[in-house]
Amino acid sequence: MATESHESAVGDSADGSAGHGTSDAVGESAALALKILVAGGFGVGKTTLVGAVSEIRPLRTEERLSQAGSGVDDTGGVDRKTTTTVAMDFGRITIRTGLSLYLFGTPGQDRFWFLWDELAQGALGAVVLADTRRLVDCFPAVDYFEHRRIPFVVAVNCFPDARAYGADEVSRALDLDRGTPVVLCDARDRDSGKEVLIRLVEHAGRVHSARLLDSVG
């Protein structure tokens, strides 16, 4: 399982320079790029998170909420939301020398589910963003990753006017497996977003290693 993810992770170094000639090296100079999905309900802060942490100008495919979508996209409880991501967000962050993450923000609306399976190919893991005012909105993402056995962390995007929940409370409300981390974050803050991603890489590393040991034992 673990090797599969690594093989199919985005292989090229991002700027096309750092990885050249070093692909066999082990250690600091080896450039490893891993693919991470950022999922969660509509308006939960996926585009915001990818934009806050990305070192490259995030690629966004946003469209004005159209008249056609106005009855379909439920914007109740979502702040000042006038655009919606129709395809996905894309960004990159270097976690430490030689380790970059490519971030793919999944489409937030149910009618774009068909895009997920392709996005999920080769992903190391996922961040499921949650808004405690609309916790049910992240159920589909939680189910999706649980069923496909893709390691994920739940990141609670702490909107100021939302009641403060503890991580345990969110974990119980979402009926998460005990090992699934819940992290409180502010999607607008780079360090906070980075912390979420580090927790995910650590968690996914543990899950993938355990599976590897299972498969050889």
Ligand X SMILES: Nc1nc2c(ncn2[C@@H]2O[C@H](COP(=O)(O)OP(=O)(O)O)[C@@H](O)[C@H]2O)c(=O)[nH]1
Residues that bind ligand X (CB under 6 A): 42-48, 79-81, 85, 108, 157, 159-160, 186-188
- To ligand X, the closest distance from the beta carbon of 61 in angstroms equals 11
How far is the C-alpha of 5 from the C-alpha of 19, rounded, in Å? 19
- Whose Cβ is closer to ligand X: residue 5's or residue 157's? 157
- 217 contact, one of ligand X, Mg ion, none, CB 5-8 Å limit per kind: none
Which of ligand X, Mg ion, none does 144 bind, CB closer than 5 to 8 A by kind?
none
With contact defined as beta carbons under 8 Å apart, do 137 and 40 qualify? yes
Q: How would you classify the pairing of strands 152-157 and 182-185? A: parallel
AA letter at 24: D
Tell me if 5 contacts Mg ion by CB under 5 A.
no
The verdict on 85 binding Mg ion (CB under 5 A) reads yes
Beta-carbon contacts of residue 99 (< 8 Å; ≥ 6 apart): 31, 32, 33, 34, 201
Residue 48 interacting with Mg ion (CB under 5 A): no
C-beta closer to ligand X: residue 116 or 159 = 159
Least spacing, CB of residue 81 vs ligand X, in Å: 5
Residue 81 contacts which entry, Mg ion, ligand X, none (Cβ below 5-8 A, type-dependent): ligand X
Q: Could you please report the per-residue DSSP string of 188-201?
A: T-HHHHHHHHHHHH
Q: Among residues 18 and 78, whose Cβ is nearest to ligand X?
A: 78
Among ligand X, Mg ion, none, residue 125 binds (CB under 5-8 Å by kind):
none
Helices (H), 9-123: 46-53, 116-120
Contact 31, 19 (CB under 8 A): yes
The residue ranges that bind Mg ion (CB under 5 A) are 46-47, 85
